[in-house]
Structure 1
């Protein structure tokens, strides 16, 4: 592939959509922290505001998927406002969520105020502050960022963090306190910058991290002990001039390993001027026989493959999509999230939708109409593919609030990518969309 900065916007848009990088397009997301529970990926991210020049981060977001490519937006599940002791309106940096004792623990750095912890009974929250103070805060410096937590086989939990140094503590079983002192590694891994992600696999301990900036790749070190010493073994993703930053999160899911990170490709669809508006990407990752990791190409040079197919015969939140560049999401007045900022000519795509051998007959959508000419074309395999139906959203304009509109569906059988293509004379902000049901 040519150098990223020599691509036109149209070429870059096609390249990113093809490889599905980034995986979220309706918001700027960074610092991915994936968690696998109950056959679902819960992807927690930080959030760069749309007008950010430098780091402007106020809350933490959640997305879920069961197939790696179609992601549902659950909005902000925690924010700086959840920490009454942190008098900040910025600085919601890289978090991680872990599960233990029937609860979900979110470890959050408040830049310049240490690391706090929130607790919830559900991965969706609500998350509450059980301490009313930082879990750790070394006031003499600003190193306390980017926490990661690993629970060892013997039940001992460790929290690691730091830029440019690496620290760790042994967490108690309550996961909101620790025993002993904060330990600073005598020797940090070579190329280490920040963003550690620590996990154990087949008896070996791994620490992935953002490598020395700039540009940043994803390096990793290995150890025979959770407390080190750590030996850098190379790069998971080598630094390139295609991107400026990175930040790893690693999981195993449905028989494969995946590395999450970040890029600036969503920003580059609008401008090549650097701003801290980042986007989460993911790629499959492979281990060698000795436990070392094969290098992964840059995000734009990978293609994300779907795991299984998508079941459309249920209530599907409209904010579930594989690709939706140009669209936005926001909280709904009745709860949940809706798709908004829907403009003429834009599309929402879901990958590998299984309509079954008999096919679909009817689609019903819950919308708030704003333009009487608004329509949704239901197309298969591409935005210009076979037309399976047309939903007249404009008829909802005369009805108050969110209301249901329906249309017949024909020809949607078997497995296809599903495209909703939006049309309207108003051009901008045609309607808001809550959810849809296919029968």
Structure 2
């Protein structure tokens, strides 16, 4: 939402990087900027501020502004949608109805993940998962002025296309764009039907906006794990026919993979045994060996491709060990609701031992082509590092890269 040359960004907050089996979102936060670089936290909205109470159900939402009032339409998990109101874009916000605006069963789709689109003073709310529905918001912004209408999307061969959750809508020139995740469709009519166009910018839930003549997409990014997500901001471009040009689409790091650089936190790394994991202001993680079989590991659901990648680690190994055991857990995406299965049997996962310099007080960089590892998973679920034959000393890691 842009107000007086200031951009306001609203988002759900993932509770912890240690959550492994569901999306647990304990609050919403609103941040703002006037240059897209320096951000200020405006306010925090807690679930207790809403009709659904203390449950950590703070899923996706969207802003609207009208007549000096500001609205935050929010998901109560995947159940229903409510609305909050404020006198200032940065809040504080209060529940405007004390009950859902979009109740469960309102339309033949889930009543969550709202998107609000305004054109010529008319506000349209869009929601759903798999199939999207829309309705006109009433003059009070707290009611529906008409019945929900299905938004139809068709492939190039005329077959019907289903979507995912969290629709995003914007208009450029004569076309309306309907976006969900890494897919999009176009139409010359707001309510469709829409023609499916293909790949959109890679990433999760997001929004598209025009800032001082430049289009941008801002969306979730799994920089730590599936359940503890960061946010990416990308410039956005179009082809002459209006379709999306993906030339500025990039992942983090560029080309895919993953960076654990520890600039601001320990990025979910922890120890199940034998040591501790501490973050340092120098942008590293470190630990003292406290017993047998010292192990450190990333947060679960790293969601990182490994094919054609190289692992690089820069470590200060001030322990007696001359070998590190690296284990790569498999991300099983071919089963329904795969995120409900966080368990890992490390005895069955791909492993390799690498030689390292023992009792070192200096950083040493080690590289490992991942394609050389037998049974390496295509997509990484969790990375584990084990210090073999060490019961004393300390270690410190500057970074771990898969690129």
Task: Find the counterpart in structure 2 of residue 345 from structure 1.
Answer: 282
Kept after mapping to 2: 8 A contact 1:191/1:219:
no
Q: Measured at CA, do residues 224 and 264 of structure 1 come closer, stay the same or move farther in structure 2, by a change above 3 Å?
A: same
* Residue of structure 2 in register with 1:202 after alignment: 173
Deviation at 1:247, TM superposition (A): 1.2
Query: Pick from 33, 53, 56: which aligns with 2:24?
Result: 56
Q: What is the CA deviation profile of residues 303-338 of structure 1, one whole-angstrom value per residue up to 9, with x for unaligned ones?
A: 9xxxxxxxxxxxxxxxxxxx961299xxxxxxxxxx
Equivalent in the alignment of 2:183 = 219
Give the Cα separation in 2 of the matches to 1:234 and 1:58.
34
For residues 349-369 of structure 1, the C-alpha deviation after alignment (integer angstroms, 9 at most, x for no partner) is xxxxxxxxxxxxxxxxxxxxx
Q: Which SS does the other structure have where 1:133 is aligned?
A: coil
- Aligned residue for 1:207, secondary structure, equals strand
> Aligned partners of 1:247, 1:46: CA distance in 2, in Å?
11
Q: Deviations over 1:361-405 (max 9, x none)?
A: xxxxxxxxxxxxxxxxxxxxxxxxxxxxxxxxxxxxxxxxxxxxx
Deviation at 1:282, TM superposition (A): 1.0
Question: 1:188 and 1:146 mapped to 2: Cα distance?
Answer: 22
Q: CA deviation at 1:294?
A: 0.5
SS of corresponding position for 2:252: helix
Aligned to 2:244: 293
Instruction: Specify the SS of the correspondent of 2:228.
Output: coil
Contact 2:42 2:91 (C-alpha < 8 Å) held by counterparts: no
Indicate the residue corresponding to 1:45 in structure 2: 11
Q: Indicate the structure whose relative CO is greater, using CA pairs within 8 Å and at least 6 residues apart.
A: 1
TM-score by length of 1: 0.54
Asked if the contact 1:283–1:299 (Cα under 8 Å) also holds between the matched residues in 2, the reply is no
Contact 1:164 1:193 (8 Å CA) reproduced:
yes
TM-score by length of 2: 0.59
Is residue 2:217 matched to residue 1:259?
Answer: yes
CA distance in 1 between counterparts of 2:38 and 2:92 reads 24
- Matched residue, 2:163: 192
Aligned length: 259
| Aligned-residue offset at 1:73 | 2.6
Select the structure that is richer in strand.
2
In the alignment, structure 1 residue 326 sits paired with structure 2 residue 272: no
Aligned mates of 1:325, 1:220 — CA distance in 2: 34
Counterparts of 2:38 and 2:231, CA distance in 1: 14
Supply the distance in 2 between the matched residues of 1:107 and 1:205 (Cα, whole angstroms): 21
State the partner residue of 1:116: 82
Residues 170 and 161 of structure 1: CA distance in aligned 2, closer, same or farther (over 3 Å): same
Q: Which residue of 2 aligns with 1:93?
A: 59
Identify if the C-alpha distance between structure 1 residues 344 and 277 changes in structure 2 by more than 3 Å, giving closer, same or farther.
Answer: closer
**Structure 2 unaligned regions, length at least 5:** 156-160, 256-261, 268-277, 285-403
For residue 171 of structure 1, the aligned residue among 130, 134, 137 is: 137
Q: Unaligned stretches of 5+ in structure 1?
A: 1-34, 211-217, 239-244, 268-273, 304-322, 329-340, 348-439
2-structure distance, mates of 1:188, 1:73: 40
**Dislocated runs of 4+, deviation >6 Å:** none
Contact 1:111 1:144 in 2 (8 A): no
- Would the aligned equivalents of 1:261 and 1:282 in 2 still touch at CA under 8 Å? yes
| Aligned equivalents of 2:171, 2:189: Cα separation in 1 | 10
List per-residue Cα deviations over 1:204-246 (Å, max 9, x = no partner). Answer: 2111111xxxxxxx211111111110111222225xxxxxx61
Using a 3 Å threshold, how does the CA distance of structure 1 residues 301 and 324 change in structure 2: closer, same or farther?
closer
CA distance in structure 2 between the aligned counterparts of 1:205 and 1:101, rounded to whole angstroms: 25
Matched, 1:133 2:99: yes
> Helix, strand or coil for the counterpart of 1:81?
helix
Are the equivalent residues in 2 in contact too, given 1:52–1:275 (CA < 8 A)?
no
Aligned-partner SS, 1:94: strand
Which residue of structure 1 aligns with residue 309 of structure 2? none
Are the aligned partners of 2:208 and 2:217 in contact in 1 as well (CA < 8 Å)? yes
Tell whether the 8 Å contact from 2:218 to 2:234 is kept in structure 1 after alignment.
yes
What's the RMSD between the two structures over aligned residues? 2.7
